[in-house]
Amino acid sequence: MSGDTDVVTNQFTLINEQETINLAHAFAFACEATNAVNKGLIVYLKGDLGAGKSFFSRAFIQNFLPGQKVKSPTYTIVESYKTSTVTIHHFDLYRLCDPEELEYLAIRDLLMGSYVALVEWPQKGEPIFPEADVVIELQHPQEFESENRRVEMTASSVLGGAVVEQLMMNMRK
Ligand SMILES: Nc1ncnc2c1ncn2[C@@H]1O[C@H](COP(=O)(O)OP(=O)(O)OP(=O)(O)O)[C@@H](O)[C@H]1O
Ligand SMILES: [Mg+2]
């Protein structure tokens, strides 16, 4: 017997940038409402170049810090933002040559206490980067209009499940 729990993937179609911003804000709201921000939440953002991972991250960060300039972490690997309640770590692992490089960034110290980690190109951090609580995959299928995106959101831990469930509940209202 595998003992696997059911994995539910929620799909969204976002027809313009504003809808991506709305989803990022709703996701941030669900992180707060479930207290996940105080427990430490790891969110993988998957998808091709230009799919909208950084765009989603910026909207998520600006939900907590309106007007905050969000720098690209492509060269620094991580940029951190401290709000009154939580620290948001925005990672982009695209330029990692070897996942071992993460040891120099002391990620274990970063991923402690109250934090949310948004991780672009998480595949590059395997197997060193800790597992995700939520995986968000952004796609820009060829048949879609220029601004349309498809999003798949999957919880992969109990905490992640609570956040996604809260998000879906709020979206049904
Ligand atoms: N619905 C949408 N959601 C998100 N981005 C959109 C949407 N429509 C258009 N875009 C545009 O797509 C671009 C996505 O770029 P972004 O830098 O977020 O991609 P990325 O996935 O982070 O790529 P990379 O892997 O290079 O870091 C943005 O400039 C944004 O303006
Ligand atoms: Mg990016």
Measured in angstroms, how far is the CA atom of residue 147 from the centroid of ligand 2?
A: 16
Of all ligands present, the nearest one to the C-alpha of 56 is: 1
Measured in angstroms, how far is the CA atom of residue 56 from the centroid of ligand 2?
A: 9
pLDDT at 172: 83
Q: Which residues line ligand 1 at a C-beta cut-off of 6 Å?
A: 14, 16-17, 20, 47, 49-55, 120, 147, 149
Convert 147-160 to b/e letters by CB count within 10 Å (16 or more is b): eebbbebbbbeebb
Task: Please provide the average confidence, as pLDDT, over all residues in the chain.
Answer: 93
Angle at 147 between CA 142 and CA 150, to 5 degrees: 60
| Among protein residues, the one whose CA lies closest to atom 16 of ligand 1 | 52
pLDDT in tens, 32-89: 999 999 999 999 999 999 999 999 999 999 999 999 999 999 999 999 999 988 999 9
Is there a contact between 92 and 70 (Cβ–Cβ < 8 Å)?
A: no
Bridge partners, residue 87, by sequence = 82, 115
Average the pLDDT over 111-119 and give the result.
95
pLDDT at 123: 97
CA distance 34 to 30: 6
pLDDT at 2: 41
With a pLDDT cut of 70, the percent of the chain lying above it is 97
Domains and CATH numbers, the chain: 11-172 (3.40.50.300)
Measured in angstroms, how far is the CA atom of residue 19 from the centroid of ligand 2?
A: 18
Average the pLDDT over 123-138 and give the result.
96
Secondary structure class of 101 (helix, strand, coil):
helix
| Among protein residues, the one whose CA lies closest to atom 17 of ligand 1 | 54
Measured in angstroms, how far is the CA atom of residue 20 from the centroid of ligand 1?
A: 10
Is there a contact between 151 and 12 (Cβ–Cβ < 8 Å)?
A: yes
CA distance 58 to 56: 6
pLDDT at 7: 75
pLDDT at 69: 97
Residue keyed to tokens 């479930």: 34
The protein residues having their C-beta less than 5 angstroms from ligand 2 (an ion) are 53-54, 120
pTM of the prediction? 0.95
